[in-house]
A = this chain, B = another copy of it.
Amino acid sequence: MTLMKHLQASDEFVGFYLIKELEVKQTNATPPKEYFDIVLCDSSGQLPAKLWDASSVDKETFFPMMLVKVQGLVQLYRERPQIKITRIRKAIPEDGVQVSDYIRSAPISPADLIHTIQQVIDSIENSDIKTIVSYCVAKVDDKLAHYPAAKTHHHAYFAGLAYHIVRMLELGEFICKQRPFLNPGLIKAGIILHDIAKPEEMTAQLGIVSEYSIQGKLIGHISMVSNWITEAAIKCDLDPDSNIILALQHMVLSHHNLGEWGSPVQPQLPEAVALHFIDSLDAKLQMVEDTLSATPETEEWTPMIKGLENKAIYRLKI
């Protein structure tokens, strides 16, 4: 079965794929006819697809997040490949395919990621910090195991958030060794907490964000974490005005660095400065890596990357 990423114009193919998006549209014909405007994906990438002449039965059969067997032809539309679906049916148990095999995922398993994060929490020496971190992690519960870190910018896939945290923890450990004046407990806590409200800021399924929650829009994940830390302190009988709470809230609130990027205060603790730049380095490099891997290798340039000043990345041969 051909991977999405390898499909090229004129290819005819049969295979199992996931319906990531599906919209019923009408042609301009008179009278107009209904067709499906679909996005098909597997773990390697995604392509737009059309099912012309969608019947009433089709409209009650096919939905987003469903696995289907498709026979199709790759055409060029506005210089980009697009699938014309010639046959389609729902996958059945006998097909032996599973949704989890068809979505983009972090390269490390959720279980391993969660295990690593838990180990780091256990290693935090200051018990108050550990208590707050544990409380907040418990709030998102099993969502930490599978949520993406963002809608499109970076780590936008299954377990992307946990993966982002783990890579940052590795980097944070290295930096703390290089610079002993930093407090490792604060660095660890800041990394784990900085985006911990993302699962409540967005609604996601299988690593795909469908929309922002009301809380996400009206409060924002940065202030949500700050509120959670206050909640954690009160619920765990810690002083909400203590220096540790202050430090954790400051790190979370300032981690976007500038007001126009969403931070109401700017970093003023060494660990807050470190957190922002560790986050930037990891997120930006992941954007590059994710975009390159989702771009067919025949393309020299990736699409423009919004988080990198709208620049595209070039595959230079040296």
Contacts and interface: CB of A to CB of B under 8 A. Distances in A.
A281 B277 contact: yes
Contacts of A170: 178
Nearest to A289: B181
Number of copies: 6
B75 A26 contact: yes
Interface string A253-279: 100011111111111111001100110
Which bracket fits the contact residues of A? 35 or more
Nearest to A253: B223
A148 to B, nearest CB: 19
A312 B240 CA distance: 24
Contacts of A268: 217-218, 311-314
A314 B269 contact: yes
Contacts of A3: none
A207 to B, nearest CB: 21
A264 B267 contact: no
B218 A265 contact: yes
A186 B218 CA distance: 15
Interface stretch (A38-46, A115-123, A229-237): A229-237
A277 B309 CA distance: 14
A270 B253 contact: no
Contacts of A108: none
A257 B307 CA distance: 12
Interface in A131-186: 167, 170-171, 174-175, 178-179, 181, 183, 186
Given A219-B250, A220-B264, A258-B259, 15 more contacts: A23-B78, A23-B79, A27-B28, A171-B178, A175-B285, A214-B316, A217-B314, A218-B247, A218-B314, A220-B265, A247-B316, A258-B260, A259-B261, A270-B288, A274-B285
22 contacts: A26-B75, A30-B33, A30-B35, A32-B52, A32-B75, A126-B318, A171-B174, A171-B175, A217-B265, A219-B246, A219-B249, A219-B250, A226-B226, A227-B229, A258-B309, A259-B259, A263-B264, A270-B288, A270-B289, A273-B285, A273-B313, A277-B285
Q: Sort A-B residue pairs by CB-CB distance and give the 3 closest, nearest first.
A: A218-B250, A277-B281, A227-B230
